[in-house]
Structure 1
Amino acid sequence: MGVDGARVLVVGATGEIGGQAAGQLAERGTALALAGRNRDRLEERASALGERPWRSFDAYDLDGCAQLAPWAKAALGDLDALVVAIGVAGFGSAAKMPEASAEHLFTVNALAPMAVVRGALAVMPPGGVVSVVTGEIVDRPALAMADYAAAKTALATWLEVAAREVRRDRITVMDVRMPHLDTGFAARAVVGTAPALGPGAAPVEAVREHVVLPVLDALRR
């Protein structure tokens, strides 16, 4: 499959990672559809990238999440690749994490991305590519991040099994263990205060290396 004109849905297109992925994929000639939570920012980004089709969604609406890929397939004429870059940070000890916050972390970081991918796997043709950002937290869970790490690890485990299940359909599923980035993501945590995390990697280069180039390489196979 070629890259020029490849039809790609980017979910989380109003965030730093998803926004970077959308912009870089647009520069490389793909046909894009965008999805995100913030309707105003999403409309603005879709316009800036050349009036791309867009759709807002709520992570708590799992049925709505599952319908994003079918919508994008209809809007673009087909769906060759999916990039999912949604999530929220949360900090606090395992013993003191409020139940509502734990539920929120699991819904946004695990259940919503799973629903998006599930919807895509139902409509994606052979040769399709799915790229989902989890993070290095899966490999290196830290203190005060038990619930956040558990949600991301649950997503990573689900992706690993799903990848094996759809291999026979020639669909590639990639779990992107993105390194800590300098985006201010931790400062926007839904609960708690981030510990000292040290300097992060530059988003532009990290997204190119870990998301955009692997997706394009997989589409060329």
Structure 2
Amino acid sequence: MRFDNKTVLVMGGNSGMGLASAKAFASEGAKVRITGRNPKTLDEAVAAIPDAVGYQADISDITATERLISRIEAQDGKIDVLYVNAGVGGFAPLRDISEEDWDFVHSVNLKGCVFAIQKALKLMGKGGSIIVTGSIGAHVSLPGNLTYAAAKGGLYAAVKVIAGELVSEKIRVNMVSPGPIDTPLLHRNPGMDDKAVAALKEQMLGAIPMHRMGEADEVARAVLFLASDEASFITAANLFVDGGALELR
């Protein structure tokens, strides 16, 4: 059991890759705490994870993140593993991007994630591990992906800087960058109807050498590896879980 007596906070743990990872952490002995914006899916997630605790919180609200960390401090006193998975989509071509959509995506995918790490640090110490969800979208030119790619690209740069700042404190910081994974996020892109989502999935499948979408559990296994002592000599890494889509272009 790699995470016995470890407190694991999964931000954005109420669906998709976050939920799959939260379940996997719990199955390996962790005390799992999850966040999510949707109270219904949050309650459903907590019910599916033994001894989990859920907190309704929006990662784009920095004050809410501070309250969350204070509650975990009072309950658990520490965070051993932080998995920052919360994110939103935002597909639109350059001419159609609105300032509101740009700010919304960046407030969650970049600003919110960075400040979540900052606030959680007060409960982390030697041996701590931070994992952040990136995306191969930050490393390829996909038309319509400007807003999302810019946010995830900024997050990738931030993770490298944060890893360098924390290495002397013996806190490891790594990123897992999924390729096309069939999760609820894919269906929650502003301005995209079901037909547009289906077309996007077809475009994605054509770029994957394995000729299939990935599954949330496959990302979860990578997350748990990076969080565990098996990855004790790994920091500032960006692990692609993409069926070869980036490496075999």
Counterpart of 2:149, as a letter, is: A
TM-score under structure 1 normalisation?
0.90
Aligned to 1:215: 227
Post-superposition shift, 1:175? Answer: 1.4
Aligned-residue Cα RMSD (Å) equals 1.9
TM-score by length of structure 2 reads 0.81
Greater relative contact order (CA < 8 Å, ≥ 6 in sequence): 1
Corresponding position of 2:152: 152
Q: SS where residue 94 of structure 2 aligns?
A: coil
**Letter in structure 2 aligned against 1:217:** D
Question: 1-side partners of 2:33 and 2:59: how far apart?
Answer: 18
Spell out, residue by residue over 1:29-82, the C-alpha distance to the aligned partner (whole angstroms, 9 max, x if none): 111111111122212322332242221112331221244334323322321110
Query: Unaligned 5+ residue runs, structure 2?
Result: 206-211, 234-249
Q: Is the 8 A contact 2:20 2:217 kept in 1?
A: yes
| Counterpart amino acid of residue 165 in structure 1 | E
Mapping 1:10-159, distance limit 5 Å: 10-159=10-159
Indicate yes or no: 2:3 matched with 1:3.
Answer: yes
AA aligned opposite 2:213 = G
Contact 1:33 1:75 (C-alpha < 8 Å) held by counterparts: no
Q: CA deviation at 1:184?
A: 4.5
Unaligned 5+ segments in structure 1 are none
The answer for the alignment partner of 1:206 in structure 2 is 219
Q: Which moved more, 1:59-68 or 1:82-91?
A: 59-68
Query: Letter of the aligned partner of 2:3 in structure 1?
Result: V
In 1, the alpha carbon distance for the partners of 2:157 and 2:66 equals 19
- The change in CA–CA distance for 1:114 and 1:17 in structure 2 (over 3 A counts) is same
TM-superposed deviation, 1:206: 2.6
Measured in 1, the distance between the counterparts of 2:21 and 2:125 equals 22
Aligned residues: 219
